[in-house]
Amino acid sequence: MPNEEQGRPHYIAGSVGTVRLFGVPVRLHFTFILLLVFLLFVGIGGRQSGAMTALYILALFASVLAHEVGHALVARRYGIRTIEIVMFPIGGVSRPERQPKAREELWIALAGPMVNLVIAAALIGWVAMRQGFVAVEQLRQPTDANLAERIAFGNLALCLFNLLPAYPMDGGRILRSFLALRRPEEEATRIASGAGQALAILMGLAGLLWGNPMLIFIALFVYLGAFQEAAAARGRIFTAGFPVRAAMITDFRTLSHGDTIRDAGNLLLATSQHDFPVMTGNTVAGLLSRAALVRAMLSEGPEAYVAGAMDRNFTRLAPDVPLTEALPLVTGAGSCALVMDQEDRLLGMLTSENLSEFILLRQASEAQHKGRPQ
């Protein structure tokens, strides 16, 4: 099982900052930061003060974060570590270290909406005891007086929206978990993803008819999310039962600790590799990626040594680690892990590109096998 000693996961590109809650890294996508600034800009004014506008936005942000932390805490009860929580404009995304089983996924998926439901119920109860209920029509106009009610209804909306049976929303995951109890995981994922894409198309059409760009944006997010989740599930299915050694590259070139950036550039042009292990004798000293090579070429020049540009904290994997558990470590574009034995001898490389090729060949093999007459 991958751990911090074997390697570190690649975080979602475009996310910045790291704050830990219950041991889980929480990061903000840059588009989320832009959304916060935009909401503050358009929200200040009218009958609500600037301070209350900022408080309302931060409260909704905290509600979305609490939703994702709920997922992470229940996942932890099943022994599933959360790699990170990333806040996007449309909501948060928590990335589990492994795909939960059907029964585990049901309770993990339910945890997030239930957190928002509890927050909404608590706020509504507090408002009812303090001043009594107000008409829903009065909540359309934001004021300092109805701040608590609007936060409560915001949480209620988050709960109901996430329970839509549209993969990768929580409702879609709940649907898949029920299907997976009686059907193969691939079929359950395909049905749930299809439902998510169909609902996204309907939402997009409704957004076009009503002239609602936000609804179109949400539809696009749901559609792409369903497509990506289906692809990720296929990857887990076609790598199940295989160790890292089955997909690793064994024919590769290395650099010496004393080589220059010019030497690395020449090797980059002469081969199809994008990442190069840097060796000190028979010991791996680091890993030089194409991006790091280019940065060093621009900042330090071609005569600089690769030792100054290489990554010394590279991702490493044991050859017998299941491929399904290695997937989160090398799914990002350009990701690379070095496969090493217990004596730290370099055995091979596992990249996102050759892992995709392995999955493609497995799909072709399965398709040919199903097409043969019995």
Q: What is the pLDDT of residues 291-305, one digit of tens each?
A: 999 999 999 999 999
Judged against a pLDDT cut of 50, whether residue 73 lies above it is answered with yes
Selected residue with higher pLDDT from 364 and 117: 117
The pLDDT tens digits for 320-365 are 999 988 887 787 666 899 999 999 999 999 998 889 899 989 888 8
Selected residue with higher pLDDT from 5 and 35: 35
Judged against a pLDDT cut of 70, whether residue 170 lies above it is answered with yes
- Long-range contacts at 48-54 (CB < 8 A, ≥ 24 apart): 48/142, 48/143, 48/144, 48/147, 49/144, 52/142, 52/144, 52/147, 53/142
pLDDT tier, 139 (very low <50, low <70, confident <90, very high otherwise): low
pLDDT tier, 4 (very low <50, low <70, confident <90, very high otherwise): very low
Tokens of 116: 């928002």
- Distances 119 to 58, 63, 138 between C-alpha atoms, Å: 15, 8, 21
- Mean pLDDT over 7-30 rounds to 71
- Mean pLDDT over 107-120 rounds to 95
- Mean pLDDT over 192-209 rounds to 89
Q: What is the pLDDT of residue 48?
A: 64
Judged against a pLDDT cut of 50, whether residue 68 lies above it is answered with yes
pLDDT tier, 109 (very low <50, low <70, confident <90, very high otherwise): very high
Contacts of 237 (CB under 8 A, 6+ apart): 185, 186
Judged against a pLDDT cut of 50, whether residue 125 lies above it is answered with yes
For residues 120 and 65, give the distance between their C-alpha atoms in angstroms, rounded to a whole number.
15
Q: Residue 138, exposed/middle/buried by CB under 10 A (0-12, 13-18, 19+)?
A: exposed
Q: What is the pLDDT of residue 69?
A: 94
Could you tell me the end-to-end alpha-carbon distance of the chain, in angstroms, rounded to an integer?
Answer: 37
For residues 279 and 190, give the distance between their C-alpha atoms in angstroms, rounded to a whole number.
44
| 255 three-state secondary structure | strand
pTM, two decimal places? 0.67
For residues 252 and 268, give the distance between their C-alpha atoms in angstroms, rounded to a whole number.
12
pLDDT tier, 15 (very low <50, low <70, confident <90, very high otherwise): low
> How many CA atoms within 13 Å lie on the side-chain side of 223?
14
- Mean pLDDT over 175-201 rounds to 85
Query: What are the φ and ψ backbone dihedral angles of 137, each rounded to 5 degrees?
Result: -60, -30
- Mean pLDDT over 39-58 rounds to 69
Judged against a pLDDT cut of 90, whether residue 274 lies above it is answered with yes
